Each structure stands twice: as C-alpha cells, then as structure tokens.
C-alpha cells in the first residue's frame, strides 16, 4: 500500500477520458489499495484513478459509511437535484456550490469481479456523481454555481 501523488487542476491527464478496466489483476488491486490510502491520507471522501495519473474507470469513495471500490461504474438512475458545497483533492483550497442529483444509483463491479449496485442520496449521491465525472475528464469547477472559498460553512 502506498500514497500516490494527486494531480492538480491544470494537469492535462485530468481532462482525458478514462478507459474501462478489462482485467482485475494484481496491478488493479494495488491501485485500489493505493487510492484508498491516498484518499484517507488527504482527508477526502472520494478519489478517481485519473487523479493519480491512471486513466482507468476506477473510483474509491468513503463518505463515512465505509469504503466503496467501484470499477467501471455507470450511473443507471438519478432523481431530483439540489445545490451544495463541493471541493476536490485536485483543486485544493477551493470550495464552491454545484447542482447534483438528490439520489442516484450506480452499477459497477467490485474487486472480486461481481456486479454491484450502489444507491446514494445526499452526500453519497454527490460523491458518486463527482467521482464519475472525473472518469470523463470533467472537474466540478466546470459546474460551479457560486464560489464559496474561504467562507465559513454550516
């Protein structure tokens, strides 16, 4: 397990489209382990593989409900929308509001190769949409409604 370097906004890798995973091998499992380590070390709630320079469709998320490892995730259902504050480990020091679905359902495979379905509402729905955007080269800064950097929240 190791902590990897997180690419920052401005790095072209973050703007590329990631390719689907075709084989769950040792290398991929190491990537998943390292991504979780990197996310926790950075005190984040989600991390996508392109953020550590790997253009594969892999994300890890933990909004305080346990670690989710999603390989080739796809949003299959969304419902509602709401605006809330977001940040991104690739855009440190900045916070802004973004509109996201209130609820979403994602299908993916786990590290055992099993098809899984994750239903998220609120923060989890937001994290899922944010991380999946990374796989298509989209950053939340593309969707900002209002920059609230430096403002106290809650």
Contacts with Ni ion by CB under 5 A: the residue count is 1
Find the catalytic residue in 23, 65, 69, 131: 131
Closest CA to 126 of 103, 110, 147: 103
d(CA 86, CA 144): 9
| Cβ count within 10 A of residue 138 | 16
Of 28, 68, 88, 125, the one binding Ni ion (CB under 5 A) is 88
Assess contact for 108 and 72: CB atoms under 8 A: yes
Residue 128 sits in the site that holds Ni ion (CB under 5 A):
no
Edge-to-edge order in the sheet of strand 96-100: 82-86, 96-100, 146-147
Per DSSP, the three-state class of 12 is helix
d(CA 109, CA 97): 30
- Of 89 and 108, CB closest to Ni ion: 89
Residues 64-83: x/- map of binding to Ni ion (CB under 5 A)? --------------------
Residue 31 sits in the site that holds Ni ion (CB under 5 A):
no
Shortest spacing between CB 88 and Ni ion, in angstroms: 3
Shortest spacing between CB 4 and Ni ion, in angstroms: 15
Active site residue 152: no
Residue 129 sits in the site that holds Ni ion (CB under 5 A):
no
**Catalytic residue numbers, as ranges:** 131
**Residues engaged in binding Ni ion (CB under 5 A):** 88
């Amino acid at each position: 397990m190791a902590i990897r370097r997180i690419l920052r906004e401005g790095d072209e890798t973050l703007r590329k489209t990631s390719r689907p995973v075709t084989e769950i091998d040792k290398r991929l499992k190491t990537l998943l382990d390292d991504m979780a380590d990197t996310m926790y070390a950075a005190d984040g709630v989600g991390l996508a593989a392109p953020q550590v320079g790997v253009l594969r469709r892999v994300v890890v998320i933990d909004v305080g409900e346990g670690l989710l490892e999603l390989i080739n995730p796809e949003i299959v259902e969304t419902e509602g929308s709401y605006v809330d504050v977001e940040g991104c480990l690739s855009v440190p020091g900045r916070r802004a509001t973004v509109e996201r679905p209130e609820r979403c359902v994602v299908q993916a495979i786990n590290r055992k190769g099993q098809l899984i379905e994750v239903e998220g509402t609120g923060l989890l729905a937001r994290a899922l949409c944010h991380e999946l955007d990374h796989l298509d080269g989209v950053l939340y800064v593309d969707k900002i409604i209002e920059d609230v950097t430096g403002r106290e929240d809650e």
